[in-house]
């Protein structure tokens, strides 16, 4: 969601670090940019709707002086993108500048109270009530910290807040509830940001703020307090091993492309999971009478693939559920015997965290798979695994999908072993194939770059795509559809191929492009029938199949041939790679920015 950066430094101008930090958070998606600094006790604020470069140059933001300041990139939730609605927001005297990520649920009631007291609002945001409330509290002759604590206790909803004020020109105050906020420290000063990549050029020593905490930043350190009772919290800093270069594009035109090509390596890392955590997670999973796999978006597609894998390898029935639907659907049945395995790249997705809250309240065992060390998901899960994909900057998830499925496959293998569900030979063979997955992905990406480019050229003007697969390949088809849809904006459908004759087939007519995912395996004979159904209605058939699969090749107009020997149960990890590349190429050919699809954010931390 919104990007946040703040710093107090000894050397240099804060504004330089703020604008660089905000640029590293661009992947979170945004519509407006704003900065505030203090120099000689004077506050300056510049903000507007638009991209960082644009706003920085139009408003000459780099001329702003001071060694303390904050910056924000806004992703609208209340009030349209505009200069007035851009952050920072201020109190009546412009002595408090505040930036916020999240949603204040009770802002209307707070605003009414302030309006009655004569406060005038410039924006339509929920955020603006906060500096006005602080101003109001300070009339009681209390300091900024006390005023902020009183206000924070009144706020309902989610927030990561950063406050700069001429009342205390050498300090920055931050607070968190549900929206992520991380603090950093170096010889040059202290920093805060909504996400680690913004801090990496300045420090790798960080502390994650937790829900219900506030921190007071000064030049040489920060003090964390509980908002409820002001008790001091002692927390060690953590060392982040991601280098700044790891979070940059490394010569690729877009982060998405770089991340697609990083998959052979991220998958190798994904095979190096810590044994004892893998064991712990599988033991918990094994104890559940019912197993839910809960996630959103791409992570949900990982869960969908995971449910086939758990069933086929470990003979475990699991129920994949979209996190925003979890409570409505299973809220009254989830309980002490349920295991809720949640999957979230960011570990901060609002809907997923809400589902976890509810599951925990009903005494279910919550397990997590995430890419983000120190994220909320890691703190609220009974046990968790870090999927080891490395930072993913492109908004469209690519390498994190394949790592998640790989983690789920490893869990399934463990379970199959402990439950005695597969013979030693079967286990050894699957394990051997699992180890080959990174190489298969590498081989496919190398061989298929040109064919995918040509394929993309031939279909770039299509106005509709239909993705179809059977069994586990229906998860691959859904994920391929999501990639194409979210970055090319071309309306697209995805269905289990067998289901398409129950309705979706009605849209098939001459020339409609149908993409079939058809690895070798149990479902392979059935997919032929599905292809014929579509072909006989005039569809143009594109198939992604095993190299040399003559039946499929004969029936298709265009084919993408994949390496031989990939077992169907692991196929989503490999078969999705050319589909990601296809989506990427289509977006670039259409002149779109695949890293920043419209209306989307990398981490959806609001309801
Ligand atoms: C799609 C995409 C989103 C995320 C979803 C969940 O490419 O990236 O659909 O998968 O917002 O995010 P996490 O995994 O962080 O919970």
Binding site membership of 560 for ligand 1 (Cβ less than 6 Å): no
Ligand 1 contact via 492 beta carbon (within 6 Å): no
The answer as to whether 285 is a domain residue is: yes
Put the strands of the sheet holding 68-74 in their side by side order: 42-49, 32-39, 68-74, 3-9, 189-193, 182-186, 205-208, 238-239
Query: pLDDT value at position 293?
Result: 98
Measured in Å, residue 346 CA sits from the centre of ligand 1 at 8
| Residue 96 confidence (pLDDT) | 98
The token pair at 216 is 């007071």
- Domain match, 224 and 275 both: no
Confidence of residue 25 (pLDDT cuts 50, 70, 90): confident
Q: Is the pLDDT confidence value at 607 over 80?
A: no
Report the pLDDT value the prediction gives residue 46, as an integer from 0 to 100: 98
Q: Is residue 605 part of a domain?
A: no
Q: Which two tokens stand for residue 203?
A: 């420090």
Tens of pLDDT, residue by residue over 296-308, are: 999 999 999 999 9
User: Which atom of ligand 1 is found nearest the CA of 296?
Assistant: 6
Tell me: pLDDT of 559 over 90: yes
Give domain status of residue 83, yes or no: yes
Q: Is 434 within the bounds of a domain?
A: no
Mutational test site, ligand 1, from 254, 255, 297, max ligand atoms within 8 Å of CB: 297
The verdict on 286 and 386 lying in the same domain is: yes
- Regarding whether 371 and 333 lie in a shared domain, the answer is yes
What is the band of 243 on the pLDDT scale with cuts at 50, 70, 90?
low
Checking if the pLDDT of 285 tops 80, the result is: yes
Task: Indicate if 151 and 39 belong to the same structural domain.
Answer: yes
Tell whether 432 is covered by a domain: no
Residue-averaged pLDDT of the chain: 94
- Are 94 and 189 part of one and the same domain? yes
Is the pLDDT at 247 greater than 60? The verdict is no
Q: Please tell me whether residue 193 adopts helix, strand or coil conformation.
A: strand
**250 pLDDT above the threshold of 60:** no
Instruction: Say how many Å lie between the CA of residue 398 and the centre of ligand 1.
Output: 10
Residues 321 and 410 occupy one common structural domain:
yes
**Long-range Cβ contact pairs of 109-114 (< 8 A, separation 24 or more):** 110/154, 110/155
Is 344 part of any domain? yes
Q: C-alpha distances in angstroms, 606 versus 75, 104, 541? A: 11, 10, 40
Query: Does the CB atom of residue 542 touch ligand 1 within 6 A?
Result: no
Distance CA 41, CA 349 (A): 38
Q: Tell me: do 36 and 159 sit in the same domain.
A: yes
Q: Is residue 410 part of a domain?
A: yes
Task: Print burial letters for 14-36: b (CB count within 10 Å at least 16), e (below 16).
Answer: bbebbbebbbbbbbbbbbbbbbb
**Which of 364, 387, 422 finishes a domain?**
422
Q: Please report the pLDDT score of residue 589 as a whole number.
A: 98
Has residue 103 been placed in a domain?
yes
543 lines ligand 1 (CB under 6 A): no
Determine the Cα–Cα distance for residues 221 and 602; give it in Å rounded to an integer. Answer: 30
pLDDT tops 90 at residue 504: no
Same domain as 129, residue 260: no
Q: Whose CA is nearest to atom 9 of ligand 1?
A: 297
**Pair 353, 280 in one domain:** yes
Over residues 203-216, mean pLDDT: 95
**Ligand 1 binding pocket mutation candidate from 27, 75, 255, 296 (most atoms within 8 A of CB):** 296
The residue among 197, 213, 241 that closes a domain is: 241
Pocket of ligand 1 contains residue 344 by CB under 6 Å: yes
The residues near 490 (Cβ < 8 Å, ≥ 6 apart) are 462, 463, 464, 465, 484, 586
Same domain, residue pair 121 and 54 = yes
Lowest mean per-residue pLDDT among 182-196, 242-256, 393-407, 575-589 = 242-256
Give how many domains the chain has, as a whole number: 3
C-beta 604 within 6 A of ligand 1: yes
Instruction: With a cut of 60, say whether residue 42 has pLDDT above it.
Output: yes
Residue to mutate (ligand 1; options 29, 178, 256, 298; most atoms within 8 A of CB):
298
Residue 417 confidence class, pLDDT cut points 50, 70, 90:
very high
Q: What is the CATH number of the domain that holds 152?
A: 3.60.20.10
Instruction: Indicate the residue among 241, 267, 289 that finishes a domain.
Output: 241
186 has a pLDDT exceeding 90: yes
State mean pLDDT over 363-373.
Answer: 93
- Nearest Cα neighbor of 447 from 544, 358, 537 is 544
> So what's the pLDDT on residue 272?
79
Mean pLDDT of all residues in 546-569: 97
Summarised one tens digit per residue, pLDDT across range 311-346 is 999 999 999 999 999 999 999 999 999 999 999 999
Q: What is the CATH number of the domain that holds 467?
A: 3.40.50.10490
Q: How far is CA 29 from CA 56, 88, 128, 178, in A?
A: 17, 17, 21, 18
* Residue 47 token pair: 């903000």
**393: pLDDT confidence band, cut at 50, 70 and 90?**
confident
Task: For residues 588 and 517, state if they share a domain.
Answer: yes
CA of 482 from ligand 1 middle (Å) equals 10
Domain that residue 503 falls in: 446-594
pLDDT of residue 77: 64
pLDDT at 273: 78
Cα 71 from Cα 213, distance rounded (Å): 21
pLDDT at position 93 over 90: yes
Give me the pLDDT at residue 248, please. 57
Average pLDDT over residues 378-397: 90
At residue 249, the pLDDT reads: 62
DSSP string, 47-116: EEES-HHHHHHHTTGGG---SEEEEEEE--SSS-SSTTTSSPEE-TTS-EEEEEEEEETTHHHHHHHHHH
276 and 324 fall within a common domain:
yes
Residues identified as active-site: 2, 602
């Amino acid at each position: 969601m919104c990007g946040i950066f703040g710093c107090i430094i000894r050397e240099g101008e804060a504004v330089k670090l703020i604008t660089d930090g905000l640029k590293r958070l661009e992947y979170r998606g945004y519509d407006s940019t704003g900065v505030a600094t203090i120099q000689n006790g004077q506050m300056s604020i510049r903000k507007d709707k638009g991209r960082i470069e644009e706003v920085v140059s139009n408003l000459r933001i780099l001329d702003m002086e001071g060694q303390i300041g904050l910056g924000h990139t806004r992703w609208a939730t209340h009030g349209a993108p505009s200069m007035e609605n851009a952050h920072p927001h201020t109190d009546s005297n412009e002595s408090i500048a505040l930036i916020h990520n999240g949603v204040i649920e009770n802002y209307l009631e707070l605003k009414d109270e302030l309006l009655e007291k004569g406060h005038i609002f410039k924006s339509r945001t929920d955020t603006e009530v906060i500096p006005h409330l602080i101003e109001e509290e300070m009339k009681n002759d209390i300091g900024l910290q006390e005023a902020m604590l009183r206000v924070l206790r009144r706020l309902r909803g989610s927030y990561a807040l950063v406050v700069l004020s001429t009342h205390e020109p050498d300090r920055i105050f931050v607070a968190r509830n549900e929206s992520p906020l991380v603090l950093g420290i170096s010889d040059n000063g202290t920093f805060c940001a909504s996400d680690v990549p913004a801090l990496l050029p300045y420090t790798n020593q960080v502390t994650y703020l937790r829900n219900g905490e506030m921190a007071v930043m000064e030049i040489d350190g920060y003090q964390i307090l509980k908002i409820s009772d002001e008790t001091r919290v002692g927390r060690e800093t953590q060392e982040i091993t991601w280098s700044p270069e790891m979070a940059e594009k490394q010569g690729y035109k877009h982060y998405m492309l770089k991340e697609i090509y990083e998959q052979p390596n991220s998958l190798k890392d994904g095979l190096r999971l810590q044994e004892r955590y893998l064991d712990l997670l599988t033991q918990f999973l094994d104890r559940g009478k019912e197993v839910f796999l809960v996630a959103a978006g791409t992570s949900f597609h990982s869960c969908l693939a995971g449910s086939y894998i758990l069933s086929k390898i470990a003979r475990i029935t699991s129920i994949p559920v979209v996190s925003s639907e979890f409570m409505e659907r299973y809220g009254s049945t989830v309980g002490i015997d349920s295991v809720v395995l949640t999957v979230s790249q960011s570990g901060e997705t609002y809907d997923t965290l809400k589902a976890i809250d509810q599951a925990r309240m009903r005494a279910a065992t919550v397990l997590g798979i995430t890419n983000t060390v120190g994220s909320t998901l890691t703190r609220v899960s009974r046990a968790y695994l870090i999927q080891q994909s490395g930072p993913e900057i492109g908004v469209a998830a690519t390498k994190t999908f394949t790592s998640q499925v790989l983690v789920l496959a490893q869990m399934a293998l463990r379970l199959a072993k402990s439950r005695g569900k597969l013979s030693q030979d079967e286990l050894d063979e699957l394990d051997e194939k699992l180890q080959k997955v990174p190489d298969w992905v590498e081989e496919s990406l190398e061989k298929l770059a040109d064919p995918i480019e040509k394929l993309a050229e031939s279909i770039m003007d299509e106005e509709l795509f239909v993705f179809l697969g059977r069994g586990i390949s229906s998860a691959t088809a859904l994920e391929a559809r999501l990639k194409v849809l979210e970055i090319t904006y071309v309306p697209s459908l995805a269905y289990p191929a067998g289901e398409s004759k129950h309705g979706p087939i009605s849209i098939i007519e001459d020339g409609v492009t149908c993409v079939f995912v058809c690895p070798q395996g149990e479902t392979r004979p059935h997919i032929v029938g599905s292809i014929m159904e579509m072909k006989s209605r005039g569809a143009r058939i594109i198939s992604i199949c095993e190299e040399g699969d003559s039946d499929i090749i004969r029936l298709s107009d265009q084919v993408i041939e994949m390496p031989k020997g990939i077992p169907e149960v692991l196929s989503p990890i490999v078969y999705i790679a050319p589909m990601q590349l296809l989506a990427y190429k289509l977006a670039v050919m259409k002149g779109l920015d695949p890293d920043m699809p419209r209306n989307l954010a990398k981490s959806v931390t609001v309801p």
